[in-house]
Amino acid sequence: MKKYCFLVVIVSTLCFGQDPVGDLIDAEYKNGHFNGTALVVKDKKVISNINRGFANFQFKVRIDSCTRFPIASITKLFTTVAILQLQERSVIDLNDKISKYIEGLPANCQNIHISDLLIHHSGLSNEPVRAYLSKYKIDRYIKEFVFRKDTAGPAKFNYNNVDFVLLSGIIEKATQKTFSEVIESQILIPLKLDNTGFVNESDIILNLAYGYHNYSFGKGGANDPLYNDRRFLSNYFGAGQMYSTTEDLYRFIMALGNDKLISEQTRRAYLIKPQKENRIDGLQGMPTYGFYFDDKTYGHPVLRRGGSIDGFNTEIITDMNFNKIVIILCNTDTGDLKEISNKIFSLVN
């Protein structure tokens, strides 16, 4: 692994100052709007791998290509793939009611389907902040934070983490394994994603970045204060518990495009196909199972997946053939990553 990381640093160094992507990242970094790593792929080859800033500001630990970042809601893509794999193996069905797997749900939550959770059409309410201020086991989290206020009419889109915590619980009940064991055995080990795993506060995770937030998202300046009062990321489970690197995420995305994890039929029917026709403006697309399908920003459709938790700010854009990919991982929320990733994607011709 050390040899692999060393080679990545060489690529990043060679790219520095030689391409417009590097110039853009440098400008954002100087303005205080970027602190992290960006990987750019064209024709299925890495053309830029750029690291800027600090993994730990207090001790001046610089970000390099071995830095592991909590990936926030990109975790939801891993969870979705695991669900699709289990459907292919007839362990679950997307049309199953969640009450088949989760006991003790409120009466107005029992008829929600797995498919509803995957695209945030469950009607479930958002979890409170206190869901992440102390440690929860998944069963207790579900018991305390799964509820639905509005049951009149069909459920509308409501982006929340509860949906994917429930999916984590369904995976555990269906397989009789922990959520992390399933992700490891079905995705991480087969792809040899050695720098991808799960944040647990009791674990010492080498090269893991600290998160710093001020919720400015591109509107602040380079000297604005940052804070690193951390939540219990482990409580996010399948909604946001995982960490990774741009290199591992690139290999994961390529495996999806090459049908190494799910079949071509599943990829076409679920992963890249919009399941609802309503565009979610804040997410710049229509929900698929795993991504958001964006056919407005460019002259061709792309798939998007991003997230933000407690300063960890992440974004992925890929074309429909997985030939052109932008992956950005940051440990501050000072930048507007949707805007930055859009600019980078447009630069790659």
Q: How confident is the model over 255-267, as pLDDT tens digits? A: 999 999 999 999 9
Q: Are residues 134 and 254 in the same domain?
A: no
**Mean pLDDT value across residues 91-113:** 97
**Mean pLDDT value across residues 325-330:** 99
pLDDT over 60 (residue 84):
yes
**Mean pLDDT value across residues 126-140:** 97
Q: Are residues 89 and 214 in the same domain?
A: no
Question: How far is residue 50 from each of residues 11, 56, 329, measured CA to CA in Å?
Answer: 9, 17, 11
pLDDT > 90: percent of the chain: 88
Task: Please check whether residue 147 lies inside any domain of the structure.
Answer: yes
What is the structure's pLDDT at 223?
87
Q: Are residues 110 and 158 in the same domain?
A: yes
Task: Please check whether residue 165 lies inside any domain of the structure.
Answer: yes
At 247, phi and psi to the nearest 5?
A: -65, -45
Q: Are residues 148 and 244 in the same domain?
A: no
Taking the alpha carbons of 21, 24, 30, 32 in that order, is the dihedral positive or negative?
Answer: negative
Q: Are residues 327 and 198 in the same domain?
A: yes
Q: Are residues 172 and 202 in the same domain?
A: no
Task: Please check whether residue 7 lies inside any domain of the structure.
Answer: no
Q: Are residues 226 and 336 in the same domain?
A: yes
d(CA 139, CA 79): 17
What is the structure's pLDDT at 155?
86
What is the structure's pLDDT at 15?
43
The C-alpha angle with vertex 131 and arms to 207 and 239, in degrees rounded to 5, equals 55
Task: Please check whether residue 162 lies inside any domain of the structure.
Answer: yes
What pairing do the DSSP bridges indicate for beta strands 325-330 and 286-287?
A: unpaired
Task: Please check whether residue 293 lies inside any domain of the structure.
Answer: no
**Mean pLDDT value across residues 212-235:** 90
**Which residue, 123, 143, 177, sits at the end of a domain?**
177
Taking the alpha carbons of 222, 312, 196, 292 in that order, is the dihedral positive or negative?
Answer: negative
Task: Please check whether residue 38 lies inside any domain of the structure.
Answer: yes
Q: Are residues 199 and 244 in the same domain?
A: yes
Number of structural domains found in the chain = 2
**Which residue, 145, 177, 209, sits at the end of a domain?**
177
Residues 6-52 pLDDT 10s: 444 434 444 444 689 999 999 999 999 999 999 999 998 999 999 99
Residue 74 corresponds to which tokens in the numbers above?
A: 């990109």
d(CA 328, CA 335): 11
d(CA 238, CA 81): 11
Q: Are residues 67 and 88 in the same domain?
A: no
Average pLDDT score, the chain: 94
What is the structure's pLDDT at 177?
99
In the chain, the DSSP E strands lie at 36-42, 45-52, 54-56, 61-62, 69-70, 197-198, 242-244, 286-287, 292-294, 302-309, 312-319, 325-330
pLDDT over 70 (residue 187):
yes
User: Looking at per-residue confidence, does 52 or 153 come out higher?
Assistant: 52
Residue 110: which residues within 8 A CB-CB, separation 6 or more? 97, 98, 99
What is the structure's pLDDT at 6?
43
CB 314 within 8 A of CB 195: no
**Which residue, 132, 160, 177, sits at the end of a domain?**
177
Q: Are residues 164 and 235 in the same domain?
A: no
The CATH number linked to 236 is: 3.40.710.10
What is the structure's pLDDT at 18?
62
Task: Please check whether residue 277 lies inside any domain of the structure.
Answer: no
pLDDT over 80 (residue 4):
no
- pLDDT-derived band at 153 (thresholds 50, 70, 90) equals low
pLDDT over 50 (residue 342):
yes
- pLDDT-derived band at 229 (thresholds 50, 70, 90) equals confident
User: Looking at per-residue confidence, does 349 or 303 come out higher?
Assistant: 303
- For residue 191, how many other CB atoms are within 10 A of its CB? 16
- pLDDT-derived band at 228 (thresholds 50, 70, 90) equals confident
What is the structure's pLDDT at 154?
74
Task: Please check whether residue 288 lies inside any domain of the structure.
Answer: no
Domain that residue 219 falls in: 19-72+182-258+302-347
Q: Are residues 235 and 211 in the same domain?
A: yes
pLDDT over 80 (residue 169):
yes
Residue 53: which residues within 8 A CB-CB, separation 6 or more? 29, 34, 35, 36, 62, 63, 331, 332
pLDDT over 70 (residue 295):
yes
For residue 345, give the amino acid letter. Answer: F
Longest CA span, the chain: 60
Q: Are residues 60 and 85 in the same domain?
A: no
Question: How far is residue 4 from each of residues 7, 113, 328, measured CA to CA in Å?
Answer: 5, 42, 20
